[in-house]
Structure 1
Amino acid sequence: MYDFQPDPTLDPAERYRQLTDAADALTAGEPDAIANMANVAALLWEFVPDLNWAGFYRMVEGELVLGPFVGRPACIRIPLGKGVCGTAASTGETQLVEDVHAFPGHIACDSASRSELVVPIVRDGAVVAVIDLDSPNPARFAPADAQGIEKLAELLTHRV
């Protein structure tokens, strides 16, 4: 039985360390990428406060396709270079956006989202997926959040 209950008073570095440890415990030895993404999406929802969406987009034949997530229904396909997710996938760089409405080409899958953090998962030099976090709060994400999710993405490189 798994019972991951993060302490809400933890500083971000410790919260993300515990999140990555929990993801490691759940995904170690499991070869199914979708199962691993589903469990990690659930962990993100539990560990990261103030979210309205947490999950994955997978790279499929040159575009991002919706993967496992927690939250409201989302856009199914995102072209590379479009929106925050497509930009992260095309550049291979983390996108930390304080105000999604000010982001050029933002794709409004959920009108409640105000800020977004997208981290690419890179394997052998190619983006294979992105981790996408949305918040209804403006400027919800800080560099500490980006660093924590980047460590999680590194762990998941060969698990998704």
Structure 2
Amino acid sequence: MTKEEKYNTIVTQIKGLTADEDNLIANLANTAAVLYNNLEQVNWSGFYLWQEGQLVLGPFQGLAACIRIDKGAGVCGTAIAKKETLVVSDVHNFPGHITCDAASKSEIVVPIIIAGEIKGVLDIDSPIKERFNELDQKYLEGVVDILIEQCQW
């Protein structure tokens, strides 16, 4: 199966899981699990939710993670500050990178923004440098769009 075929399967599965459910935590938890268990070379998949001016750890799969991240700090905080997806080929070269898992080498962070308002981020880490590319970005932004539409934020 090609990478694109795998993503199409993942998107179909997430659409199916969220179709009749609008609970935010349930949908984020299932999405984190689907991504973690179906993407190759991934060691963390999850969400941080915007609460009281910080990103706070939400549903995830992988090792224990940092609990709070300030706007502009690390890859997640920078994605929120810039309001754009960040694809980082080598996190050790990213200024201000926050190390939660020393095994992580690359990362993609997709901000969740509704009507200009920050709601959180989807964050995925890999123990492989240059793991993520434009195809990952396209499909993971699509996953976030599904969650924006299906969840009660």
TM-score bracket, shorter-length normalisation: over 0.9
The answer to whether structure 1 residue 126 and structure 2 residue 117 are counterparts is yes
Find the residue that maps to 2:72 and give its secondary structure. Answer: coil
Q: Partner of 2:108 in structure 1? A: 117
Displacement of 1:91 in angstroms is 1.3
The answer to whether structure 1 residue 70 and structure 2 residue 58 are counterparts is no
TM-score normalised by length of structure 2: 0.94
The count of aligned residue pairs is: 151
Where does structure 1 differ by over 4 angstroms across 4 or more consecutive aligned residues?
none
1:82 is matched with which residue: 62, 73, 90? 73
Q: What value does the CA root-mean-square deviation take over the aligned residues?
A: 1.1
Displacement of 1:20 in angstroms is 1.4
TM-score normalised by length of structure 1: 0.90
The percentage of aligned residue pairs carrying the same residue is: 48
* TM-superposition CA deviations, 1:111-145 (whole Å, max 9, x none): 11000010111211222111100001111111111
1:147 is matched with which residue: 138, 143, 147? 138
Q: Partner of 1:42 in structure 2? A: 33
Displacement of 1:65 in angstroms is 0.3
Displacement of 1:13 in angstroms is 2.1
* TM-superposition CA deviations, 1:70-113 (whole Å, max 9, x none): 00000000001100000111211000000000000100011110
The answer to whether structure 1 residue 13 and structure 2 residue 30 are counterparts is no
Q: Partner of 2:82 in structure 1? A: 91
Q: Partner of 1:5 in structure 2? A: none
Q: Partner of 1:137 in structure 2? A: 128
